[in-house]
Amino acid sequence: MPDAYTQACERSLTDPEGFWAEAASGVDWIEPWERVLDDSNAPLYRWFAGGQLNSCYNCLDRHVERGRAEQPALIYESVMAEGSRTCSYAELRDLTARFAGALARAGVAKGDRVIIYMPMVPETVVAMLACARLGAVHSVVFGGFAAAELATRIDDAKPRAIVSASCGLEPGRVVAYKPLLDAAIDMAAHKPSACIILQRAELAAELGPDDIDWNEAIAAAQPHECVPVAATDPLYILYTSGTTGQPKGIVRDNGGHAVALNWSMQAIYGIEAGDVYWAASDVGWVVGHSYIVYAPLLKGATTLLFEGKPVGTPDAGTFWRIVERHRVKVMFTAPTALRAIRRDDPEGRSIAAHDTSSLEALFLAGERSDPETLKWAGAQLGIPVIDHWWQTETGWAITANPLGLGLFPIRPGSANKPVPGWDVRVLDDDGKPAAADRIGAIACKLPLPPGTLPTLWNADRRFREAYLSRFPGYYTTGDAGYIDAEGYVHVLTRTDDVINVAGHRLSTGAIEEVLASHPDIAECAVTGIGDAIKGQVPLGFLCRKSGHDRPETDIVPEVVALVRERIGPVAAFKQAVVVERLPKTRSGKILRGTLRAMADGREYPTPATIDDPAILDEIAEVLREHGFPVP
């Protein structure tokens, strides 16, 4: 008799409609679906076509109606602002209904977009769920992005309203959001009709004539009921880095999303209603959308919203103190957070000093988990530490080790095995399946399970080109790796210019676009180099225009400031070197992989396609002068 995991995998692939129809019983529907899987427009698929529901109702109201009114829905823990706050399901439902009323008064209706540019406070969750309640489409923009990035998103999503706050809190500084928001609206061609601003105690924003104070908006509003939406209607747009500076608007639907996320809580994370679950991420990223907000609330669990960093303020024990205080059952973070904790507390004293006995597993994602850190955390905590792989596009895990279905042995270095619903393959350049252990492009056979992106916002063609055309019949993940003989998936690197900096996804192409706009720069290349804590950080190679011979010591601080101003501090762009020429192939392609190997101190064979091998020696010299360990 196969185990529960194997059975679920088999059934999900041989009878996906039966499998997901069963999972859909965990969601409350206003109208049942007509078709579980609508393949009439393949390779674009839709789940639960014809069905109607409301995602906010499923996250809040139904739990209040069924006896969880007093149960904590959300615990807010901040090491940046004063204290901790707990909101019951009834309180969160009431606040959300009122804020939905406030949005409606500001003119927001079903189908309208609302941009949310907020720090990690409970009101951000309220704003997201209020949009869902109205059938409006939220688009959360991470606070570490600069005004220009926000402006790009405003022009793409064309929001009716923007919800923001007076400030975010980063260690040692208060980030004033309002000036960034005002600058973004100035830059954007599209103008929202209203902005609702939450005033935080740490900084008061000056409100303009079109701005509405959050508290006043709530005070003036009536609670709004849940608006029925089609399962296939968009719930949110989340922008992520693509291969150019133009971010991709990942669309998430209502029905498939609710079904998959609700199912994942028990199957993958072993969470039942009433359990405390903590995803230490940011609501600006997909992990925050799925596992701070939607999935735990769909399940009727208690979610924890954490504002701060795992180290520094106050110390490396922050995570474990919170686990102890709230008896967290399962936690989720990025490997970079563990590396930072391990750097400050290699002996794990801060772990031993707290009662972490409630914790049953720690899940990691956002970047590859290095085996050393994973083993260290497992040894210190004495629980399974599980790497699992997913993307903004997929919305939930492609591979994992499913706590709820039954764990199989953990293999550090791998991202574990495909989750039920996912048919993961490694393909060679011709689209043929690669043999076990052979590296190739990782692709997933279509149709993807529910909850994954049905398309890009207003860009079906870009969706097809970016994800569906390289290997017909498959979704191209953009990741490369291999599957070993036991079926473990090893995700090694991106096949495009995406890099992961402290678990944050960035495009080197977007950074290059900014560098190239500097008046002294003729051409440039950016590559991600290894970093002990952040996993990767960007490094710029700059070629000056002829006749522009200002020294590197002048130019580099200027380009660093330019990237911070245009993309934001989250890019963590701090290093660049000036070189005379860039290494290229004979067809003119910059050899970024070779640049990366050199800066990382790895052997770098001279590529057969290189135009002028002497350039590599010049660059090696420059890098050595800057202290890089070029072999």
- Write out the two tokens for 600: 């990382």
Closest CA to 122 of 50, 158, 157, 74: 74
Residue 156 vs 307, nearer CB to ligand COA: 307
User: Which residue is associated with the tokens 């850190």?
Assistant: 373
- Write out the two tokens for 67: 């006896």
Q: Which of residues 483-512 bind ligand AMP (CB under 6 A)?
A: 491, 494, 500, 505
Q: Which of residues 217-246 bind ligand AMP (CB under 6 A)?
A: 240
Residue 132 vs 453, nearer CB to ligand AMP: 453
Give the DSSP letter of residue 347: T
> Does residue number 326 form part of the binding site for ligand AMP (CB under 6 A)?
no
> Does residue number 124 form part of the binding site for ligand COA (CB under 6 A)?
no
Cα gap 135→155, rounded to integer Å = 21
Residue 554 burial (CB count, 10 A): 9
Specify the long-range contacts of residues 524-529, CB closer than 8 Å, at least 24 apart: 524/582, 525/582, 525/590, 525/592, 525/595, 526/573, 526/592, 527/499, 527/592, 527/593, 527/595, 527/596, 527/599, 528/499, 528/500, 528/501, 528/596, 529/596, 529/599, 529/600
Residue 193 burial (CB count, 10 A): 13
Q: x/- string (CB under 6 A) for ligand COA, residues 134-173? A: ---------xx-----------------------x-x---
Stretch that binds ligand COA, among 19-27, 130-138, 315-323, 500-508 (CB under 6 A): 500-508
Distances (CA, A) of 390 to 39, 395, 442: 24, 7, 12
Q: Which of 307, 367, 497, 512 binds ligand AMP (CB under 6 A)?
A: 367
Q: x/- string (CB under 6 A) for ligand COA, residues 339-368? A: -x------------------------xx--
Q: Which residues pair with 507 in a beta bridge?
A: 498
Q: Which of 88, 166, 281, 394 binds ligand COA (CB under 6 A)?
A: 281
Binds 334: which of ligand COA, ligand AMP, none (CB < 5-8 Å by kind): ligand COA
> Does residue number 281 form part of the binding site for ligand AMP (CB under 6 A)?
no
Cα gap 308→397, rounded to integer Å = 25
Report, in Å, the least distance between residue 139 CB and ligand AMP: 15
Q: Find the farthest-apart pair of alpha carbons in the chain and give their distance in angstroms, rounded.
A: 75
CB 139 within 8 A of CB 126: no
Stretch that binds ligand AMP, among 15-23, 88-96, 383-391, 606-614 (CB under 6 A): 383-391
> Does residue number 391 form part of the binding site for ligand AMP (CB under 6 A)?
yes
Cα gap 362→384, rounded to integer Å = 6
Stretch that binds ligand AMP, among 300-308, 362-370, 419-427, 450-458 (CB under 6 A): 362-370
Cα gap 418→9, rounded to integer Å = 8
Residue 58 vs 336, nearer CB to ligand AMP: 336
The DSSP annotation for 365-413 comes to -SSPPPHHHHHHHHHHHTS-EEE-B--TTTSS-SEE--TTT------TT
Cα gap 527→196, rounded to integer Å = 39
Binds 309: which of ligand COA, ligand AMP, none (CB < 5-8 Å by kind): ligand COA
Report, in Å, the least distance between residue 242 CB and ligand COA: 18
Residue 130 vs 511, nearer CB to ligand AMP: 511
Cα gap 174→166, rounded to integer Å = 10
Report, in Å, the least distance between residue 249 CB and ligand AMP: 13
| Residues touching ligand COA, count (CB under 6 A) | 25
> Does residue number 567 form part of the binding site for ligand AMP (CB under 6 A)?
no
> Does residue number 333 form part of the binding site for ligand AMP (CB under 6 A)?
no
Binds 505: which of ligand AMP, ligand COA, none (CB < 5-8 Å by kind): ligand AMP
Residue 115 vs 286, nearer CB to ligand AMP: 286
Q: Where are the alpha helices (DSSP H) in 158-267?
A: 177-187, 214-220, 255-267
Report, in Å, the least distance between residue 285 CB and ligand AMP: 6
Binds 321: which of ligand COA, ligand AMP, none (CB < 5-8 Å by kind): none
> Does residue number 387 form part of the binding site for ligand AMP (CB under 6 A)?
yes
Binds 387: which of ligand COA, ligand AMP, none (CB < 5-8 Å by kind): ligand AMP
Q: Which of 487, 569, 601, 607 binds ligand COA (CB under 6 A)?
A: 569
Binds 144: which of ligand COA, ligand AMP, none (CB < 5-8 Å by kind): ligand COA
Q: Tell me if residue 427 falls in helix, strand or coil.
A: strand
Closest CA to 175 of 162, 163, 165: 165
Give the DSSP letter of residue 233: S
Closest CA to 344 of 304, 376, 388: 376
Stretch that binds ligand COA, among 209-217, 278-286, 297-305, 491-499 (CB under 6 A): 278-286
Residue 570 vs 615, nearer CB to ligand COA: 570
Report, in Å, the least distance between residue 418 CB and ligand COA: 20
The DSSP annotation for 477-517 comes to EEEEEEE-TT--EEEEEESSSEEEETTEEEEHHHHHHHHHT
Report, in Å, the least distance between residue 535 CB and ligand AMP: 9
> Does residue number 282 form part of the binding site for ligand COA (CB under 6 A)?
yes
Cα gap 67→194, rounded to integer Å = 37
Report, in Å, the least distance between residue 606 CB and ligand COA: 34
Q: Which of 131, 175, 322, 521 binds ligand COA (CB under 6 A)?
A: 175
CB 160 within 8 A of CB 107: yes
CB 81 within 8 A of CB 102: no
What residues make contact with ligand COA under the rule CB under 6 A?
A: 143-144, 168, 170, 175, 281-282, 285, 287, 309-311, 334, 336-337, 340, 365-366, 502-504, 533, 569-570, 572
What residues make contact with ligand AMP under the rule CB under 6 A?
A: 240, 286, 365-368, 387-392, 415, 478-479, 491, 494, 500, 505
